[in-house]
Amino acid sequence: LSLDDMADYLQLEKHFSESYRFVSIDTSEEVLNDIFIESFKKNKKLAMIFVTKNGSSTEPLLGIIVNKDLRLN
């Protein structure tokens, strides 16, 4: 099941105050930290990062990462 399959239910585009990102399964923790930090610096809340095999929204969802999952530097 991919997020595209659930798009009608989630309506991610209607979350104006939050953003979402997709990353591949091999994205390092350091890069994930950087993604959250950059989002914070831009005053755009990154609600979560969706993990798929290659970082595409059309692929099956492998995991979800939120900022509390990481040790932000």
pLDDT in tens, 13-70: 555 667 888 999 999 999 998 998 888 888 778 888 999 999 998 899 999 998 888 7
Kindly report the backbone phi and psi dihedral angles of residue 20, in degrees, each rounded to the nearest multiple of 5, phi listed first.
-135, 150
Rounded-to-integer distance, Cα 69 and Cα 65, Å = 6
pTM over 0.85? The answer is: no
CA distance 65 to 72: 13
